[in-house]
């Protein structure tokens, strides 16, 4: 009789533990749930998304995320606002424009805090001032290329549209094609397409990183609603980003293979240039700099009075990155304070 009671007791305990386990799993902050994330340009600045996905860091962090390509930051922003995308790469102009219009996009991290383009032009264009009256190509109006060129022209006393006409072309490959066909005389570009342009005889007339233009060129962007409701997943995503950056710096050959897959490029020179471009500009610790948003607000305020009343802190949230810094995540990852 005692044995039967013990058997019943064991079965009851097993049943109870099963129920408890089911409840715990159902309430786990990282429970299996499919999310969609997006990258927006054939550019090394988007490579953390590729590496996070292909090197398995999203899964390592317990995230089930589908990676998709949507050309241009403004288009991605609309998809994020609609809830079709939960995290993407967007620039500070897009985030501010959305915020001033009543949207709730927020940068929870920074891939790069400066304008990270090289302005490529035909050989007869010797300097930025030579662009007066010439047509310049950008990917999309409102995208990073558009903002970066406007800021550069302003620094040299030129005004976009008035002094230098802009046309929107599409992605980086389309910009390269427009340059080689002489549809435009210049365009802001990133690697690996800069290498293609150089091989076609185009020359660099400006390195925007040296022009000291603060700008959230690429931010880890989500909605304030998703960040509030899915904070554990958001933090896990930032950890995955940190692991991806470390992977890129320590496992170059595997990183180049991932680059080749997403860029469809096999030329070693192009791939080496692309990864070096990433090393030069991408943040190992993805804190957003307030000045990157202040410069954006100052620029937008010229045409939108709402920007004059806005504060940079409305558009970014460094709390998760700061938590990871305080927990020693980045220091442990790099073996020192990066």
Could you tell me the residue ranges of all domains in the chain?
A: 34-114+214-334, 118-211
The answer to whether domain 34-114+214-334 has CATH 3.40.190.10 is yes
* Selection from 198, 178, 199, 204 nearest residue 121 by Cα: 204
| Overall fold of domain 118-211 | D-Maltodextrin-Binding Protein; domain 2 (3.40.190)
d(CA 156, CA 147): 15
Least confident of 1-5, 226-230, 273-277, 307-311: 1-5
3-state secondary structure of 8: helix
Asked whether the predicted pLDDT for residue 8 surpasses 60, the reply is no
pLDDT at 81: 87
Least confident of 133-137, 207-211, 285-289: 207-211
Evaluate whether 34-114+214-334 and 118-211 have a shared fold. Answer: yes
d(CA 90, CA 74): 8
Asked whether the predicted pLDDT for residue 203 surpasses 60, the reply is yes
3-state secondary structure of 328: coil
The mean predicted confidence, pLDDT, of the chain is 88
Tell me the pLDDT band of 44, cut-offs 50, 70 and 90: confident
- pLDDT average, residue stretch 158-167: 96
For residue 139, give both structure tokens: 């990917």
- pLDDT average, residue stretch 166-195: 92
d(CA 110, CA 1): 67
């Amino acid at each position: 009789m005692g044995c039967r009671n013990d058997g019943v007791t064991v079965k009851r305990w097993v049943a109870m533990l099963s129920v408890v386990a089911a409840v715990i799993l159902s309430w786990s902050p990282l429970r299996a749930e499919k999310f969609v994330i997006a990258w927006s340009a054939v550019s090394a600045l988007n490579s953390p998304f590729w590496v996070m996905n292909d090197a398995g860091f999203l899964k390592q962090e317990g995230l089930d995320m589908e990676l998709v390509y949507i050309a241009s930051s403004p288009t991605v922003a609309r998809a994020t606002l609609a809830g079709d995308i939960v995290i993407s790469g967007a620039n500070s102009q897009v985030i501010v424009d959305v915020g001033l219009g009543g949207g709730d996009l927020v940068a929870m991290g920074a891939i790069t805090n400066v304008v990270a383009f090289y302005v490529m032009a035909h050989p007869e264009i010797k300097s930025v001032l030579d662009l007066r009256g010439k047509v310049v190509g950008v990917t999309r109006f409102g995208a990073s290329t558009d903002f970066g060129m406007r800021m550069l022209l302003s620094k040299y006393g030129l005004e976009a549209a008035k002094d230098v006409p802009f046309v929107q072309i599409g992605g980086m490959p389309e910009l390269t094609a427009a340059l080689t066909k002489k549809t435009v005389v210049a365009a802001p570009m990133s690697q690996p397409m800069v290498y293609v342009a150089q091989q076609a005889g185009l020359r660099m007339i400006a390195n925007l990183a040296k022009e000291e233009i603060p700008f959230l060129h690429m931010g880890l962007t989500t909605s304030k609603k998703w960040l509030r409701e899915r904070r554990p997943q958001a933090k896990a995503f930032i950890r995955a980003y940190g692991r991806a950056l470390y992977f890129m710096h320590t496992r170059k050959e595997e990183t180049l293979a991932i680059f080749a897959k997403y860029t469809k490029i096999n030329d070693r020179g192009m791939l080496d240039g692309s990864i070096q471009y990433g090393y030069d500009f991408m943040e190992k610790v993805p804190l957003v700099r307030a000045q990157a948003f202040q410069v954006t607000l100052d620029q937008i305020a010229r045409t939108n009075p709402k920007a004059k009343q806005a504060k940079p802190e409305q558009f970014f949230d460094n709390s998760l990155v700061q938590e990871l810094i305080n927990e020693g995540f980045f220091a442990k990852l790099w073996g020192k304070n990066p």
